[in-house]
């Protein structure tokens, strides 16, 4: 099943309408999106995809904060987070409980002169992904950007979750052409960054490491939750630069995302990567059960 709703975006500081925030939602069957919408013709917009487990929206506050950050980077009107939160709750209630699902939020610049457009799509998701158990083969690919592009070339929108995902999808096709399933992007300085749709986490010299948000990457909400759980188990976790040259030395590595949760690497550039299956299983379970 899937459910589609269009949202009439309110200003960030607008009060709740007399009819409630849900009065700003329209079922997809009652609304259309213009073929002149900037999100359709130019990819000029932003999105977030949130996991839903047993009716609970995971990492909602972090995703909405990132939505607002992306909007600021694209100079879109700031979203009314209370309105989006109400919409999320409404769509989550339409997904199976118990069960897993996803909700994708989209906000675009809209039709010129008419203001922004917004919609939400809820879908059922698998409760299990085979790559969580079997692991994945990954290749490193040059991203063609400095790790410091967010500061040096902000117009490239590094760190924004934009609708323009053609390059990310091309990278995944290149991975498949090389006999792999996913990608770790590498900066022009030789630093490991992230995957096309995921964040990178490695265990190196006894420390869990993920690249810092100051680099040209998307701040990973799942990495934050993974660090919270790992620290509670007594592990040391740090955000720091991760040279791609160090990847062959890792004791384990994962690509983290909202729906797949944690996909352990079993191969990197054709070379076997060690796995810690006990941590694999415990980390995945912890991410599935998180309630905030």
Domain boundaries, the chain: 2-125, 130-289
Average pLDDT, the chain: 94
The rounded distance, in Å, linking the Cα atoms of 215 and 193 is 8
pLDDT category of residue 1 using cuts at 50, 70 and 90: low
The rounded distance, in Å, linking the Cα atoms of 86 and 183 is 35
35-55 pLDDT, tens digit each:
999 999 999 999 999 999 999
Q: What is the pLDDT of residue 2?
A: 86
186-223 pLDDT, tens digit each:
999 999 999 999 999 999 999 999 999 888 899 999 99
Do residues 117 and 28 lie in contact, with contact meaning Cβ atoms separated by under 8 Å? no
Tokens of 151: 């500061």
Least confident of 60-69, 88-97, 146-155, 275-284: 146-155
What separation in angstroms does the CA of 236 have from each of 15, 121, 210, 226, 245?
43, 37, 12, 12, 22
- Count other C-beta atoms under 10 Å from residue 280's C-beta: 18
Compute the average pLDDT of residues 53-74. 95
pLDDT greater than 70 at residue 292: no
Per cent of the chain over pLDDT 70 is 99
CATH architecture type of domain 130-289: Alpha-Beta Barrel (3.20)
CATH 3.30.470.10 fits 2-125, yes or no: yes
pLDDT category of residue 19 using cuts at 50, 70 and 90: very high
**pTM score, whole prediction:** 0.93
130-181 pLDDT, tens digit each:
999 999 999 999 999 999 988 888 888 888 899 999 999 999 999 999 999 9
Output DSSP code: residue 77. Answer: P
Residue 168 has φ and ψ, to the nearest 5°, of -65, -40
Do residues 203 and 252 lie in contact, with contact meaning Cβ atoms separated by under 8 Å? yes
Asked if 2-125 and 130-289 have one fold, the answer is no
CA end-to-end span of the chain, whole Å? Answer: 25
218-261 pLDDT, tens digit each:
999 999 999 999 999 999 999 999 999 999 999 999 999 999 99
């Amino acid at each position: 099943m899937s459910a589609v709703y269009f949202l009439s975006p309110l200003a960030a500081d607008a009060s709740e309408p007399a009819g409630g925030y849900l009065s700003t939602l329209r079922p997809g069957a009652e609304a259309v999106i213009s073929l002149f919408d900037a999100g359709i013709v130019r990819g000029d917009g932003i999105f977030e995809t949130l996991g839903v487990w047993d009716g609970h929206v995971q990492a909602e506050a972090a995703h909405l904060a990132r939505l607002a950050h992306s909007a600021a980077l694209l100079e879109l009107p700031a979203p009314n987070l209370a309105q989006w939160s109400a919409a999320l709750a409404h769509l989550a209630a339409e997904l199976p409980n118990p069960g897993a699902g996803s909700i994708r939020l989209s906000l675009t610049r809209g039709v010129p002169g008419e203001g922004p457009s917004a919609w939400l799509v809820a879908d059922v998701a698998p409760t299990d992904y085979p790559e969580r158990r079997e692991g994945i083969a990954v290749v490193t690919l040059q991203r063609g950007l400095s790790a410091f592009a967010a500061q040096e070339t902000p117009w490239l929108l590094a760190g924004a979750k934009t609708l323009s995902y053609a390059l990310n999808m091309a990278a995944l096709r290149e991975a498949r052409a090389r006999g792999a399933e996913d990608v770790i992007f590498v900066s022009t300085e030789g630093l490991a960054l992230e995957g096309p749709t995921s964040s990178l986490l490695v265990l190196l010299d006894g420390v869990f490491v993920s690249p810092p948000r100051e680099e040209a990457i998307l701040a990973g909400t799942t990495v934050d939750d993974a660090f919270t759980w790992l620290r509670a188990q007594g592990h040391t976790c740090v955000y720091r630069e991760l040279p791609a040259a160090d990847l062959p030395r890792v004791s384990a590595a994962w690509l983290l995302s909202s729906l797949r949760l944690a996909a352990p690497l079993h191969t990197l550039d054709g070379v076997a990567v060690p796995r810690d299956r006990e941590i694999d299983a415990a980390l995945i379970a912890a991410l599935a059960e998180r309630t905030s």
